Amino acid sequence: MARVSGATRRRFLKHSACTGLALGIWPGALLAQEPASGKLDPGFQPDVELLMTARPAAIGILPGRQTEVLRYEVSLVQGPADTVTEAGTYLAPTLRLRKGQRVRVRFRNELPSQDQIVHWHGLHVPESADGHPRDAVGPGGTYVYEFEVLNRAGTYFYHAHTNMLTGPQVYRGLAGLLLVSDEDERALGLPAGAEDVPIVIQDRRFDADNQLVYLQHHMESQLGFLGDRIFVNGRPDFVLPVETRPYRLRLVNMSNSRIYKLAWKDGTPLTAIGTDGGLLAEPVQRPYLILAPAERVDIWADFRGRTLGSELAMISLPVSAGLPHMMMRHMGGMGGPGMMGHGGMGMGKGPEDVGPNTELEEESPAGAKDDLAEGFTVFRVRIERSAQAGANELPTRLAPFPHYRPEDAANSGDTRVIELSFRHDQGFLNGRSFEMTGAAPEERIPIDSLQIIEFVNPPGHGHGMMAALPHPMHIHGQQFQILRRESFPAYDEDHAALAAGFIDEGLKDTVLVLPGQRVTLLKRFDKFPGLVLYHCHNLEHEDRDMMRNFLVFA
């Protein structure tokens, strides 16, 4: 791929050496030796320009010894002052962009021994700005991203997308929020500023020395890594102090593989106003929310009428109710709690509390003892002050978007069916594993077309290593719409424990496909030719090749 001409390269080096030195971010001497990859178009006039590095750091997370993490550090070269906000923890800074802005990011990999590339999850950008693993740069390497923010307002994020290393890199800290705003959103007068609060949910496991532990035990790569402690916005035991007024809480699952079933502990229903791709057409209510890795739901949380000094917990109910039964049923000789033998796996405390409908005897998949399997607190809200000014009212209409129709799909009547499977520690999409630039004939898609795509997660086979696993499927590029979700015969009952928690009416880039389920969606492939990744966002699955390319051709 000769994307960067010599001339462009020289111009980039000259320019970035100056800004790098001026900002003290990139050592100029190193820069001078490094060719840049990615796209730097001298004609591109950025509204926002960022310098970004990935590097190791040691920070205080738990009391006592500092924790070794990986961090994205971002500095603003040009653009509105609120573009970059430090997270003050292992999480990467929060980036705030506006629809229509042109953005240039000069990225530099300062990891001593690993390749690295950054992906803007949920954004519709050209292939050269998407952070495809083919574009990963080695230690000391740089990559230039240029793109325009085409997305509507919403809760997006950015994270490492390095081939076979996404799981460990994200786990150690290479991920952060990316919030997009636009005029439609502003006109709605939703809670803003201190009343617009991201809730980034992650699970982590630490050793006695406060160091992060990743993939210790047999089967964790197949089932996905689960931590034994919940972190919100990079902090344990997160408490959000609030006033007696409505808030917008942006729930983001940035965990590697954990699926949450979120509910208010006192049984208050949740009011959702947005999903992966921004605001819904109108608010919807759910008794609980299923949030799989990479999924986002914005909720309207109204604390009016709550007693000062009181607390309200958001809990996660056991998802095992809908999952490991199926695992056990279909894993033949592999079932049986305790069979995997893993002394010392659970090092956290037992569940502190549980919500309604919990099944305390539930074992986690394959018998691995998961201390969080039984329901736990994700964070607490503390009602601290009464609100002074007048409160926002929940709009009955939010931000409508055009609805795709199956009859308008270019392949209407000829659905692209993608079968999900995982066996012998490797993921498959229609029987194929990841090929860096490969795309099969049925993965070729004409540009500017609407496509009807179906993910099928077969219930699994009776024996052997074919596990029935949930797969949160993500497609790069434009947001899609979910047309229908169907259970295989006899699976309705299993799915019933989770079914009320899906929000399938919004714009989505990630959709959870349960074992024994098929999900049909409509997605456009506009504007940018090239490779468009799709993969399981259980990061252990992604790293084990459960990823493929669509090839969009002009």
Neighbouring C-alpha atoms within 13 Å toward the C-beta of 15: 15
Q: How many angstroms separate the CA atoms of 332 and 341, rounded?
A: 18
Report yes or no: 271 and 394 within 8 Å, Cβ to Cβ: yes
Is residue 508 a contact point for ligand C2O (CB under 6 A)? no
Outline where DSSP puts E strands in 79-160.
Answer: 84-85, 94-98, 102-109, 118-121, 142-148, 154-160
Nearer CB in complex with ligand C2O: 19/275: 275
Is residue 296 a contact point for ligand C2O (CB under 6 A)? no
Is residue 69 a contact point for ligand C2O (CB under 6 A)? no
Nearer CB in complex with Cu ion: 232/259: 259
Written as six digits, the tokens of 523 are 């997605």
Chain centroid to CA 186: 24
Residue 522's SS3 state is strand
Is residue 296 a contact point for Cu ion (CB under 5 A)? no
Nearer CB in complex with ligand C2O: 372/475: 475
> Given CA atoms 131, 539, 99, 402 in this order, what sign does their dihedral have?
positive
| Listed ranges 40-48, 66-74, 198-206, 531-539: which one lies at the site for ligand C2O (CB under 6 A) | 531-539
Residue whose C-beta lies closest to ligand C2O? 121
Q: How are the residues of the chain apportioned to helix, strand and coil, as percentages rounded to the nearest 5?
A: 15, 40, 45
Is residue 535 a contact point for ligand C2O (CB under 6 A)? yes
Neighbours of 260 (CB within 10 A): 27
Q: How many angstroms separate the CA atoms of 554 and 545, rounded?
A: 27
Is residue 294 a contact point for ligand C2O (CB under 6 A)? yes
Count of chain residues binding ligand C2O (CB under 6 A): 10
Q: Which partner in Cu ion, ligand C2O, none is near 471 (CB below 5 to 8 A by kind)? A: Cu ion
Neighbours of 313 (CB within 10 A): 18
Chain centroid to CA 133: 17
For the CB of residue 228, give the shortest distance to ligand C2O in the complex, in Å: 24
Name which position in 71, 96, 106, 119 contacts ligand C2O (CB under 6 A).
119
Site string for Cu ion, 457-496 (x = CB under 5 A): --------------x----x--------------------
Residue 542's SS3 state is helix
| Listed ranges 299-307, 319-327, 410-418, 529-537: which one lies at the site for ligand C2O (CB under 6 A) | 529-537
> Given CA atoms 114, 115, 116, 122 in this order, what sign does their dihedral have?
negative
Written as six digits, the tokens of 164 are 């076979």
Nearer CB in complex with Cu ion: 19/222: 222
Is residue 523 a contact point for ligand C2O (CB under 6 A)? no
Site string for ligand C2O, 471-500 (x = CB under 6 A): ---x-x------------------------
Nearer CB in complex with ligand C2O: 203/371: 203
| Interface residues toward Cu ion, by CB under 5 A | 121, 471, 476, 536, 538, 541
Residues that bind ligand C2O (CB under 6 A): 119, 121, 159, 161, 294, 474, 476, 533, 535, 537
